[in-house]
Amino acid sequence: MVEPEEDFSREVSPFRRFARDEWAALRADTPMTLTLADLDELRSLNDRIDLHEVEMIYLPLSRLLNLYVQASQRLFNASNVFLHRADRKVPYVIGVAGSVASGKSTTARILRRLLSRAPSHPKVDLVTTDGFLMPNARLEREGLMSRKGFPESYDLQNILRFMSAIKAGERDVEVPVYSHLTYDVLSEKVQLIDRPDVLIVEGINVLQTGRPPRDGRGIPNVSDFFDFSIFIDAEEPDLRQWYIERFFSLRDGAFADPKSFFHRYAALDDATARATATRIWETINLVNLRENILPTRPRADLVLRKGTDHKVRSVFLRRI
């Protein structure tokens, strides 16, 4: 994996790089509104984030996002004046992308909690794109089960309809719900998104683009509906190790449930479990990372670059 310092620090780069301490200083007087209990609730499996990391990285980021949301609202009001309209403000949409095991889910949940506790008390919702995966029955029928998580395994039209409805300000927009226990979409359950002030959309491929059509009439990309996007970045060996550690935790936890899709892995000994996790990583997740996820990194507005200890060591912010 190419170091972002090489990618984003060149003279022609649209990004400005901040060392960890430089970024932390941008927190200013943003108050800490999370407790240890909050963090225990929001932290993903095997994610070692602590309150100091929230102070150093996520409080400055929440401050920046609050400024962007406020600026977007002012721009929207100015547009209404120009157009002689009285449209209702639509949600400010933040995309969060990154590899499996990168910690993007934790990032999305922490940002949601911090933004919702801002002085303006905005309504902040979070949607994961897992719910837009095709049901297992369809994946099996179309021979895509081994490609689950790759771009072609998602119901792209459904995602785009959802994003379009959100940006149109529609009420009670439905989102399919995914179960990580059964490893499938729950056909009988939906999440309703009702005009939040901010919507966070988290998923490994949310910054994916298609090939531009020659006639210029192609369908939009999911990220075309984003106002701001974040990519969680790390070295391949670290992502691989984090994935294996998570596999072991699941083996000793969720996989033990007879209802779990991966219940067959619960009885694996350590050596077999490591070999199985490594095989899954190398044949599925690493391929997806190299072919589909990593190439979208330069499209983000902000990149959080993690070290081996899961702590963010550099931040890359796109220049305006």
Residue 218 has pLDDT above 90, yes or no: no
114 token code pair: 């911090």
Residue 216 has pLDDT above 70, yes or no: no
Listed residue (200, 211, 237) closest to 97, CA to CA: 200
pLDDT in tens, 8-53: 555 678 999 999 999 999 999 999 999 999 999 998 877 889 999 9
Give mean pLDDT, residues 107-130: 93
Please state the rounded mean pLDDT for residues 147-164.
Answer: 94
Q: Among 243, 242, 265, 269, which Cα is nearest to 253's?
A: 265
Higher pLDDT, 211 or 85: 85
Mean pLDDT across the chain, nearest whole number?
A: 92
pLDDT in tens, 58-71: 999 999 999 999 99
Compare 120 and 297 and report the one with higher pLDDT: 297
| pLDDT of 280 over the 90 cut | yes
How far apart CA 130 and CA 175 sit, in angstroms, is 10
pLDDT of residue 67: 94
pLDDT of residue 184 exceeding 80, the answer is yes
**Which tokens in the block code for residue 282?**
């190398």
The stretch 230-250 carries a mean pLDDT of 96
For position 282, what pLDDT does the model report? 97
Average pLDDT over residues 223-236: 96
Nearest to 199 by CA among 230, 167, 221: 167
Taken in order of first residue, the domains within the chain and their CATH numbers are: 4-208+219-318 (3.40.50.300)
Average pLDDT over residues 212-238: 87
Asked whether residue 3 carries a pLDDT value surpassing 60, the answer given is no
CA distance 112 to 93: 12
Q: What average pLDDT does the segment 241-248 reach?
A: 95
